[in-house]
Structure 1
């Protein structure tokens, strides 16, 4: 059994590794180790996610797909969630999420083996129901936040106050400092600033372009 941790943030400005320490502590307390991490900055409403796809391809029967919360795995519509769930089942992966206690049993094969078949079936059914419910709630929450955001923007626009998303220039300067002055690699700079590697490259290109204009 390999435990594969999936870390997702919705945008490039968010830190996908935020929950890494929490996942490590959770797994260590149960006597296991995380075999590999899969990180990406992409919306949970997208079915096609490169790192999640790589996790599925790397996995073997009875491996664990570990997430902090179900919304890190999915904010998909019900149709797309059923598609992803089928893919997970085809790879015979078991989902363990910190916010779904019934899923934790997958980390203890010994405890599961002590249960009679009926008990195991009941626990599995409850676990699947809870995961499906939280997947639906995650998508509903995303829809609600999108609606509130749209309403807020429309109101700000009507009042002439909307300027769009502003760049974090102070954080950008940290990227340039680590890259140019400290001579850190792109990966080291990403770890130091919380940006992704692709975002580090975009920030560099932005300031290089501005210096030529």
Structure 2
């Protein structure tokens, strides 16, 4: 039986130190950590941790928003942990899913977090709509299109589309679109 921790920050310039200290104080003996946005689907350390966990283990995190993108995602993770016989603890709210009260509290908190996020997105959309009406909103800059000459040059040099996308930090669909429209 292991006590496993998961720590995550959204960007490379943020520090994991506080989370790691809290996890160590909680008795964690193995930590999976990553510096990647929570909205990204591909979080290799989260996947590795979920594969690593076994019956009787306990997963500890410092805050709910460190592990899941949405209530649905959180409940999927908790269901997976439950199937494997793994308990789940969240330090900042003293949540423990090994108890019925903890399970209820987790579901309610996840729903509130989703509601909060949806309200934020609604306010953001209203702000964007207002800014567009006032002629102040420009949208995001077309970064991939600005790199079209580099995409074409790298393709001519024989580089694969996937490598071009990785090297220029743009989506592979953008590479295909640029190459298709180069004529």
Same topology, TM > 0.5: yes
RMSD between aligned residues: 3.2
Contact 1:4 1:66 in 2 (8 A): yes
Aligned to 1:29: 25
- Give the aligned partner of residue 80 of structure 2: 87
Structure-1-length-normalised TM-score: 0.55
What residue is the counterpart of 2:172 in the other structure? none
- Once the two structures are TM-superposed, the CA of residue 165 in structure 1 deviates from its matched residue by 4.7
Check whether the contact 1:62–1:94 (CA below 8 A) recurs between aligned residues: yes
| Separation in structure 2 between the aligned mates of residue 64 and residue 165 of structure 1, nearest angstrom | 42
TM-aligned CA distance change 1:16 to 1:90, over 3 Å: farther
- Alignment-derived partner of residue 5 in structure 1: 6
Q: Secondary structure at the match of 2:92?
A: coil
1:38 paired with 2:33, answer yes
1:44-123 to structure 2, matched below 5 A, reads 49-78=43-72, 80-103=73-96
Offset, 1:36 = 2.5
Instruction: Give structure 1 stretches of 5+ with no counterpart.
Output: 107-122, 167-200, 207-213
Q: How many residues align?
A: 145
1:51-200 pair list within 5 angstroms: 51-78=45-72, 80-103=73-96, 124-165=99-140
User: Residues 125-180 of structure 1: CA distance to partner in whole angstroms, max 9, x if unpaired?
Assistant: 111111111111111111111111111111111111113357xxxxxxxxxxxxxx
Give the drift of 1:72: 2.3
Gaps of 5+ in 2: 142-164, 170-183
CA contact (8 A) 2:7 2:61 kept: yes
Shift of 1:81: 4.3
In the superposition, relative to structure 1, how do residues 149 and 34 fare at CA in structure 2: closer, same or farther (>3 Å)?
Answer: farther
What is the DSSP-based 3-state SS (H/G/I as helix, E as strand, rest coil) of the residue aligned with 2:100?
helix
